[in-house]
Structure 1
């Protein structure tokens, strides 16, 4: 996907998230994030948007703040103003990404063609996944994520986030997982050991202990642990299903 496509996705998914929040009580539980209420979700995504915009806007070369903290976001308002605060931060991030020069240099944490490309992609998927959470809190499914965005998000998760040294997807014995889209947009073959997983892609992947095959827009939330295999009605699960438990417990961000 191009940078402009990621920015468009960020804009679209962020507006859908706000729409879901607007028709839901802030105290509503978020089923896909069991420890959260909707207010917690808005505080989190609103802070992430401001954090990312500050890194880009200031051209920060190092991660601001300590690990796990979102620095330079300013005070979080009371619940009465929380949705408006979220909307402002979302719009500001879209504007920052749209106006930042393509050759900007700043801190990132995954390989990418450029820092701007990294942040546009990362924030598009951060927002799309949390839009799914807002829909879950509202109790009404939103529109399916675009197939191209979903496939791109699978790739970012599997080939990027899951192979980082700090990722926790590990196994005492060698195990393999094949993720294959049935709408013609890709496949990912993971080898999981005590070291960071390795991933290969291609149209004719090797067999695996467990294969997940289905449309990208169902595999995307499934792999992000927002959808169970039982809820993903078009995903075919074949092989060692205990690997799904390993994924659910260890493939966390």
Structure 2
């Protein structure tokens, strides 16, 4: 990507400042998640997998997943009754996401003080890998059925 011109025009499927910015971000997160897969298969402990992911990068990956991927109509993370899932990093300032679930695609935002039905908390790198279903959630409080729903329904469909 370093040889691509900054104003390159190409297809992309999530909002981004430019196609180049989109693909650089997308490939960085794709590579990080699959690196965790490969290292896990090789026997690397979950704590070590998360330790290899820088905090700012992990927070950006949670942003991409919650604010972009699951905002699309293709997201299967839905509930019949409106519910609120909160994701809170314990090691990064302002790394809190509130996800409103309903029969429609999830609506997520950074921050949020509204009550949550379920909250998942932990270091942001562990949350990043957990939201991609590579690690268990570090801690879950409230209605654990929402964390289970995430595990069951959050697979990403690109096409």
Does the alignment reach a TM-score above 0.5?
yes
1:168 Cα deviation from its structure 2 partner: 1.2
For 2:121, the equivalent position in structure 1 comes to 213
Determine if contact 1:187/1:205 at 8 Å carries over to the other structure: no
Summarize the alignment of residues 54-133 of structure 1 with structure 2, pairs less than 5 Å apart.
97-133=1-37
Question: What CA RMSD, in Å, does the superposition of the two structures yield over aligned residues?
Answer: 1.3
Determine if contact 2:75/2:106 at 8 Å carries over to the other structure: no
Matches of 1:139 and 1:119, distance apart in 2: 30
For 2:140, the equivalent position in structure 1 comes to 237
For 1:151, the equivalent position in structure 2 comes to 59
1:186 Cα deviation from its structure 2 partner: 1.5
For 1:172, the equivalent position in structure 2 comes to 80
1:174 Cα deviation from its structure 2 partner: 0.9
1:199 Cα deviation from its structure 2 partner: 1.2
Give CA-to-partner distance per residue, 1:154-200, whole Å, 9 cap, x none. 11001110111112111111111001111214111011111111112
Matches of 2:20 and 2:148, distance apart in 1: 35
Q: Which has the larger radius of gyration?
A: 1
Matches of 1:148 and 1:132, distance apart in 2: 17
More strand by proportion, 1 or 2? Answer: 2
* Residues 123 and 185 of structure 1: CA distance in aligned 2, closer, same or farther (over 3 Å): farther
Runs of 4+ in 1 over 4 A off after TM superposition: none
For 1:199, the equivalent position in structure 2 comes to 108
Q: 1:194 aligns to what SS in structure 2?
A: coil
Matches of 1:185 and 1:140, distance apart in 2: 29
* Contiguous gaps of at least 5 residues in structure 2: none
Q: 1:206 aligns to what SS in structure 2?
A: coil
For 1:188, the equivalent position in structure 2 comes to 97
Count of equivalent residues: 151
1:236 Cα deviation from its structure 2 partner: 3.0
TM-score with structure 2 setting the length: 0.90
TM-score with structure 1 setting the length: 0.57
* Contiguous gaps of at least 5 residues in structure 1: 1-96, 230-234
More helix by proportion, 1 or 2? Answer: 1
Matches of 1:198 and 1:192, distance apart in 2: 7
Matches of 2:44 and 2:150, distance apart in 1: 26
Determine if contact 2:99/2:109 at 8 Å carries over to the other structure: yes
